[in-house]
Amino acid sequence: MKRFVRITWIFYPMLAALLMYLLLPLFPDFTEYAVSRGLFKIVTVPIGFITSLLPVSLTELLVVLALPLLVMIIILFVRRMRKSENRKKTAIKAMRCVCGFISFALLMYMICHGGNYYRRTAAELMELDTSPKSPEQLVEVCLWLSENAAAERANIITDENGCMKLPEDIYTELTRVNNGYAPLIEEYPWLWTSVWRQKPVQLSYYWSYTGIVGMFFPFFAECNVNIEQPDYGKLFTAAHESAHSRGVAFEDECNFFAFLSCINSEYPEFRYAGYMQAFTYCSNALFDYDTELWEQAQENVTDGMLADFRSHNDYIDRFASYVIDGPGDIEINPWEVGGDINNTFITIQGVEDGNLSYDRVTELILAYYYTE
């Protein structure tokens, strides 16, 4: 028995992760209090506090060093095999190390992020009325969002192109994310986190070709922001990724808490970013339903807001397609590849509509507006 345990113990974390994946969806209340408010906080609070002390992105550093580290490990393995008197035993030890690493990583992922997919929904926790709303109600919300966005736009500075410009450097701005969450934590203490610094990614130009503007890396409890995107997008993305560090897994709920935190911030650039991004989601949903109603909802949109919308579209145009020089000049869309990978990852967690789940934030914004 002891021999069996000694041989198989490396797979126990993987088994625990599998049990969490299969059983937690059946017990949302248990997941809410034992995992999301318990185990998740216990593990991520010390990790997030330590990684927040560093201004550089450890996730980005890991990506840059991953290939050299892999090559070095392979070289060391080959050298060990050449010197080994029992190559079979050496190979088995190496395989056990790989399996142990994967096993432990799977358990850490479920504790630090994956398990949060199975907690109670934000609508339940906040007692929001998510019953279907009429198109006319959506128009009303769009007008409310655009009116507030226009009002906040008057309080921010602009660049030479008339687009929003951050009043402080990006490092300072990304440490202001918690300011907007503070009022929410008073009402919903489970939103507290030790992660107080969002990380700007220095290789954002190349990252932009994936179509991904932010990433929460659960193993470091680290929030990473693509700083190549327009400024209002940087702030909203930072607030979105911060929601992940607070135990929120679903993308639409992260967008919702990003919206709430931004509009509750004392900084006008954050309030503007929140109203602008929420208006974008709601306006797009209205356009898909009725273009005439969509036109009605545009009456509060200012020239400044249009300039920021154009900057966002320009950003997409710059990176959404790439032409490979050669016979025929092959054009590819790297955003589709990045989107497919992200869609697969989200779907595996049980989110059936994958990337489309980001847009479900409209339902939560409507519910919040009419509940409040």
Q: What is the pLDDT of residues 141-168, one digit of tens each?
A: 999 999 999 999 999 999 999 999 999 9
Give me the pLDDT at residue 330, please: 46
Dist CA 122 CA 26 (whole Å): 17
Dist CA 246 CA 145 (whole Å): 25
Give me the pLDDT at residue 191, please: 98
Exposed / middle / buried, residue 299 (Cβ in 10 Å: 0-12, 13-18, 19+):
exposed
pTM here? Answer: 0.91
Give me the pLDDT at residue 346, please: 55
Give me the pLDDT at residue 321, please: 64
Tens of pLDDT, residue by residue over 319-371, are 886 544 444 444 445 556 544 555 565 566 655 544 333 458 999 999 999 98
Give me the pLDDT at residue 84, please: 87
Residues 6+ away with beta carbon under 8 Å from 289: 135, 138
Dist CA 290 CA 333 (whole Å): 29
Give me the pLDDT at residue 101, please: 95
CB contact at 8 A, 233 and 213: yes
Give me the residues paired with residue 200 across strands.
Answer: 225
H/E stretch holding 50 reads helix 40-52
What percent helix, strand, coil does the chain show, rounded to 5?
A: 70, 5, 25
Give me the residues paired with residue 322 across strands.
Answer: 332
- Segments in the chain below pLDDT 70: 1, 5, 321-359
Q: CB neighbours (10 Å) of residue 128?
A: 21
Domain boundaries, the chain: 2-118, 124-371
